[in-house]
Amino acid sequence: MAVGIVGWGAYIPRYRIKTREIAEAWGDDALRIRDMYLVEEKAVGYIDEDPVTMAVEASRDALTRAGIAPSEVGAVFAGTESKPYAVKPISSILIDALNLKRQVYSVDMEFACKAGSDAIVNLMGLVKSGLIKYGIAVGTDSSQGEPGEHLEYTVGTGAVAYIIGSTNLVAEIKHTYPFASDTPDFWRRDGSPYPVHGEGFTGEPAYFRHIIGAAKGLMEELGMKPNDFDYAIFHQPNARFPVRVAQMLGFPLEKVKPGIVVDLIGNTYNASALLGLAKVLEEAKPGSKILVVTFGSGAGSNAFYIETTDLLPSKVKLARTVSEMLEDKVYIDYSLYLKYRKIIKMIHG
């Protein structure tokens, strides 16, 4: 049975802050910061936006593109690391916001930035087993970056949703391959407002080892090489890492660039690589072969081999595109950024 993507939707808030603006507030060299991360600006949700609201927006567009009735959805899984409630699911809010039926498997998933892609893998299994007809996988985050610390330059805001099914596919997910281990590269303790990095673990032992492990494992199982793919999309904590990992794997820049969005919206965590995939789906021709490798700290990767179908082009304009949302923006300064992200602590909140 062929299983894959029936529809997709994305959401990027309208507000943006330039990394230069943040650097000026903290006395950093803006050019050096840009050179380190290649992130020009990042998306900022307004006071009333959070991973729930963005998940609803992305999922509505995904249902529109899929052209299915909400009552046909049998599962909704939300991947996030920035739940507004410590205990109360995003997925149950999605059930009522999207008018899904009550007989829906629903759960929130957490594996740093990887859980949204785990939602896809799990839904593939439910569809293949015949337990559900369609499922919604969401990656949504409005994560935290401590003011004055470097994470603040890249942590963005956004969401993406995919309808997974076995009929009317816009892209077939032909193979998956996981690679995970206990690697302490990045974490946020319970009750802590901001995450921290494990010194020296971020790059080689975490991001590069897991993405390369998953990508190579997938290609070896399929007997494929980088030349066989039209696009390669990787998790994007900044714009340097995905380009570097592509080089290490042997993918040329032109196959990686279309799926990079971090330079304009920051790292959207669970939406990161999957938002890159949404952008690529907007421009890919039928029959395109796409490699997607997600990454979550802690650490693990899921690699996907995806091939687009003839149905894809007819679906692109049915809802807001990533390209449109990248252009639909208004800049704010650092004071409004602190206000919108509720970073200023007030007695009368």
Binding site for other proteins (CB under 8 A): 14-15, 46-50, 52-53, 56-57, 60, 84-85, 93, 96-97, 99, 328, 330, 332, 339, 346, 348-349
Q: At closest approach, how far in Å is the CB of 14 from other proteins? A: 5
81 is catalytic: yes
254 is catalytic: no
Q: Which of 41, 49, 152, 235 is catalytic?
A: 235
Q: At closest approach, how far in Å is the CB of 105 from other proteins? A: 20
Nearest to 297 by CA among 174, 153, 220, 201: 201
Q: Which of 113, 210, 282, 307 is catalytic?
A: 113
Look at the block and give the residue holding tokens 């729930």. Answer: 52
Other beta carbons less than 10 A from residue 178's beta carbon: 18
113 is catalytic: yes
Q: At closest approach, how far in Å is the CB of 216 from other proteins? A: 40
Nearer to other proteins, 305 or 337 (CB): 337
Q: At closest approach, how far in Å is the CB of 94 from other proteins? A: 10
Nearest to 285 by CA among 228, 223, 231: 231
Nearer to other proteins, 59 or 117 (CB): 59
Nearer to other proteins, 97 or 121 (CB): 97
Nearer to other proteins, 48 or 254 (CB): 48
Nearest to 250 by CA among 227, 273, 234, 276: 227
Nearer to other proteins, 49 or 282 (CB): 49
Q: How far apart are CA 10 and CA 20, in angstroms?
A: 26
Peptide bond into 137 cis (omega under 30): no
Q: At closest approach, how far in Å is the CB of 140 from other proteins? A: 12
Nearer to other proteins, 42 or 209 (CB): 42
How many alpha carbons lie under 13 Å from residue 101 in its C-beta half-sphere? 14
**Cα-flanking dihedrals φ and ψ of residue 306, to 5°?**
-125, 135
Q: How far apart are CA 134 and CA 121, in angstroms?
A: 13
Burial class (CB in 10 A: 0-12, 13-18, 19+), 189: exposed
Q: Fill in the amino acid letter for 5.
A: I
Q: How far apart are CA 92 and CA 96, in angstroms?
A: 7
Q: At closest approach, how far in Å is the CB of 329 from other proteins? A: 9
126 contact partners, CB below 8 Å, separation of at least 6: 74, 75, 105, 132, 135
Q: Which of 41, 49, 57, 81 is catalytic?
A: 81
Residues taking part in catalysis:
81, 113, 235
